[in-house]
A and B are shown apart, each in its own frame.
Chain A
Amino acid sequence: MDKIELYESNLRKYLIDKLIKLDYIDIINLESESGIVSFNIDGIFSQDVAFYLNKYNICVRAGNHCAKILKNETGVKNSIRVSLYFYNTYEEIDKFVELLSDKEKIMKEMI
């Protein structure tokens, strides 16, 4: 279990280090301890991002995650949620970040 936890933590750090370089991405839970990374893309609704990623077989959750009072804590009503676990890989994160690295492409393909 310790190895799984460490791997998950490293994956999360790897993802955040890449996402943080994209200035139009706002990461909501930078400090939390889990495989969860929640974020928003400036000017694009979270569900549209999820729809776009789904086209590339990437499954994320979007919206308020059935936690309607979460916004009281985070100040954010809706977000995209990535849930990393031991079956995810660094290569998958590379693909994920690459897909988010072109905002125009997201806008074009999200509908």
Chain B
Amino acid sequence: MDTELRREIILDNYKYPFNKDGNDSFGYQKINANNVSCVDDIDLYVDIKDNIIKDIRFNGEACAISTASTSIMLKYIIGKSIDDAKRFVQNFMNMVNELEYDKNLLGEAIAFDEIYKQENRKGCVTLPYLNIIKLLDRYNW
């Protein structure tokens, strides 16, 4: 991917994050995602009905990579079934961990295809994924 396009996608999602208006008033399930080695601290508010992710909102303070990664993840897993969302997460994690992955399923998340070169940013980019999967794992495949 072109470096400028990659940067544009990430910065656009940092400056104008998708659904970054989460709060308790939504009445959704809340998950906190924080990174012990930095101060990234994000709350995810998730609405799941009939095994479909109806909506997710988020809020909190985090770096550009974490914020953009969360924004992008939300765009692609809202509306998906639990199973499809898990596949999306697994595919993303495979990319970050240098395993085989399908780039055609990632959408804007492909902007992080070279993050594996920066070990210290892997924690940032995977923060929302590692935490949403904890919730999704409570549901059966």
Show the binding face of A for B, using Cβ within 8 Å: 43-48, 51, 63-64, 77-78, 107-108, 110-111
A45 touches B7 (CB 8 A): no
Interface residue tally on B, bucketed by range = 10 to 19
Q: What is B's interface to A at a CB cutoff of 8 Å?
A: 7, 10-11, 14-15, 38-40, 61-65, 67-68
Task: Let me know if A110 and B39 touch, CB within 8 A.
Answer: no
Given A77-B61, A78-B61: A47 touches B11 (CB 8 Å cut-off): no
B63 to A47, Cβ gap below 8 A? yes
Contact partner of A45 among B10, B11, B61, CB < 8 A? B61
Q: A45-B63, A78-B61 are in contact. List 16 more A-B contacts (CB 8 A).
A: A44-B64, A45-B62, A46-B39, A47-B38, A47-B40, A48-B63, A48-B64, A51-B63, A63-B38, A64-B39, A77-B61, A78-B39, A108-B7, A108-B11, A111-B7, A111-B68
Q: Which residues of B contact A77 (CB under 8 A)?
A: 39, 61
11 residue pairs of the A-B complex, CB under 8 angstroms, read A43-B15, A44-B64, A45-B63, A45-B64, A45-B67, A47-B39, A48-B63, A51-B63, A78-B61, A111-B11, A111-B65
Those 9 A-B pairs whose CB atoms lie nearest each other, nearest first: A63-B39, A47-B63, A48-B64, A45-B63, A48-B63, A111-B64, A111-B10, A78-B39, A64-B39
Q: Is the interface of B mostly helix, strand, loop or mixed?
A: helix
Instruction: Report the bound CA distance from A43 to B15 in whole Å.
Output: 8
**Residue among B10, B38, B62 with max Cβ neighbours from chain A (10 Å):** B38
Write out the residue numbers on chain B whose beta carbons fall within 8 Å of the beta carbon of A110: 64
| Chain B residue at minimum C-beta to C-beta distance from A68 | B39
A60, B82: Cα distance in complex, Å: 42
* Smallest beta-carbon distance A44→chain B, Å: 8
Q: How far is the CB of B43 from chain A (nearest CB, A)?
A: 14
B89 to chain A, nearest CB (A): 22
With A and B bound together, what is the CA distance between A13 and B16 in angstroms? 36
